């Protein structure tokens, strides 16, 4: 796996900037998707519509910047990386860095798509949109779900969890143990699942036990796949799997 640039180096921060820019289209897409419901309830907003939209986008962009910065500093310390993007920033061949990630990424994406189809067919009635047109647009799922979420949860949160475990429990010595990697994968998958609860609550009206279990189990399962891909093959493999899971499941649903 192509190693990241040294933490704090110029090349490392160049990578961070490009990762942040890579995640911004997802931020724009998800804020854009909020416009219709916000406009429909504009009279209830505490601020003008444009201000609410602007602040929402800025908040998410700042959170993304923080996650990218954390990953840029900590990921190389614990052996996590983004091989293809690192190679591109360093002016090295990207194809060679991507080649090992294609197959695991496609396999993870296909498995994720099957899982999403199964979830869609077994979802509680309150989580099924009455009007299919009101469902989240595919573009948002691809850009925000496939790219931005991976930067937030895997690159940022998972790198932080693994670094903390390695630094505290292993005293920062040697390569992180497999048990700490597994811990980071599991905790980041749980965080990924918890992050979907606000949307589930907005759709269902309340987080009933049925809704809570469905959302946590369904999202944690794919989070484990994405986390394992990131740990073993790199960030791009997790992104590829996440994007494919949404794209392929969209064709089947």
Comparing 56 with 1, which gets the higher pLDDT? 56
Does 4 reside within a domain? no
The number of distinct structural domains making up the chain is 1
- What is the average pLDDT score of the chain? 92
**216 within some domain:** yes
Give the pLDDT confidence score for residue 203 in this predicted structure: 85
**pLDDT tens digits, 127-162:** 887 655 557 889 999 999 999 999 999 999 999 999
Q: What average pLDDT score do residues 83-110 get?
A: 95
Q: Is the pLDDT of residue 82 over 90?
A: yes
**pLDDT score at 2:** 45
Q: Tell whether 232 is covered by a domain.
A: yes
pLDDT band at 244 (very low <50, low <70, confident <90, very high): very high
Q: Is residue 18 part of a domain?
A: yes
Q: What is the pLDDT of residue 12?
A: 80
Q: Is residue 63 part of a domain?
A: yes
pLDDT at 102: 96
Mean pLDDT to the nearest integer, 197-211: 90
Specify the range with the lowest mean pLDDT, choosing from 122-126, 134-138, 174-178.
Answer: 134-138
Position 243 confidence tier, pLDDT thresholds 50, 70, 90: very high
3-state secondary structure the chain: CCCCCCCCCHHHHHHHHHHHHHHHHHHHHHHHHHHHHHHHCHHHCCCCHHHHHHHHHHHHHHHHHHHHHHHHHHHHHHCCCCHHHHHHHCCCCHHHHHHHHHHHHHHHHHHHHHHHHHHHHHCCHHHCCCCHHHCCCHHHHHHHHHHHHHHHHHHHHHHHHHHHHHHHHCCCCCCCCHHHHHHHHHHHHHHHHHCCHHHHHHHHCCCCHHHHHHHHHHHHHHHHHHHHHHHHCCHHHHHHHHHHHHHHHHHHC
Range scoring the smallest mean pLDDT among 8-12, 100-104, 164-168, 230-234:
8-12
**Mean pLDDT in residue range 7-19:** 82
Mean pLDDT value of segment 84-112: 95
Q: Does residue 16 lie within any of the structural domains? A: yes
The whole-number pLDDT of residue 231 equals 98
Predicted confidence at residue 130, as pLDDT, reads: 64
pLDDT at 219: 97
Q: According to the model, what pLDDT value does residue 1 have?
A: 44
Residue 3 confidence (pLDDT): 47
In-domain check, residue 5: no
Confidence check: pLDDT of 106 > 70: yes
93: containing domain: 10-252
Q: What is the mean predicted confidence (pLDDT) over 37-46?
A: 82
In a domain, 58, yes or no: yes
Using a cut of 0.85, tell me whether the model's pTM lies above it. yes
Average of per-residue pLDDT across 219-243: 98
């Amino acid at each position: 796996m192509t190693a990241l640039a040294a933490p704090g180096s110029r090349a490392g921060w160049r990578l961070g900037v490009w990762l942040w820019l890579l995640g911004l289209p997802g931020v724009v897409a998800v804020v854009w998707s909020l416009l219709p419901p916000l406009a429909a309830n504009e009279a209830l907003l505490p601020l003008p519509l444009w201000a609410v939209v602007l602040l929402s986008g800025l908040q998410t962009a700042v959170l993304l910047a923080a996650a990218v910065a954390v990953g840029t500093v900590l990921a190389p310390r614990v052996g996590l990386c983004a091989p293809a993007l690192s190679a591109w920033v360093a002016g090295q061949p990207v194809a060679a860095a991507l080649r090992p990630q294609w197959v695991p990424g496609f396999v993870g994406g296909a498995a994720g798509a099957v899982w999403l189809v199964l979830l869609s067919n077994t979802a509680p009635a309150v989580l099924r949109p009455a009007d299919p047109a009101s469902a989240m647009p595919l573009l948002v799922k691809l850009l925000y779900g496939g790219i931005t979420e991976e930067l937030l949860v895997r690159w940022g949160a998972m790198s932080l969890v693994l670094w903390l475990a390695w630094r505290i429990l292993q005293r920062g010595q040697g390569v992180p143990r497999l048990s700490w990697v597994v811990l980071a994968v599991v905790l980041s998958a749980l965080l990924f699942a918890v992050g979907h609860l606000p949307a589930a609550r907005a759709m269902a009206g309340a987080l009933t036990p049925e809704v809570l279990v469905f959302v946590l189990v369904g999202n944690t399962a794919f989070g484990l796949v994405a986390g394992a891909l990131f740990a073993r093959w790199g960030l791009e493999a997790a992104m590829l799997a996440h994007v494919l899971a949404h794209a392929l499941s969209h064709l089947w649903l």
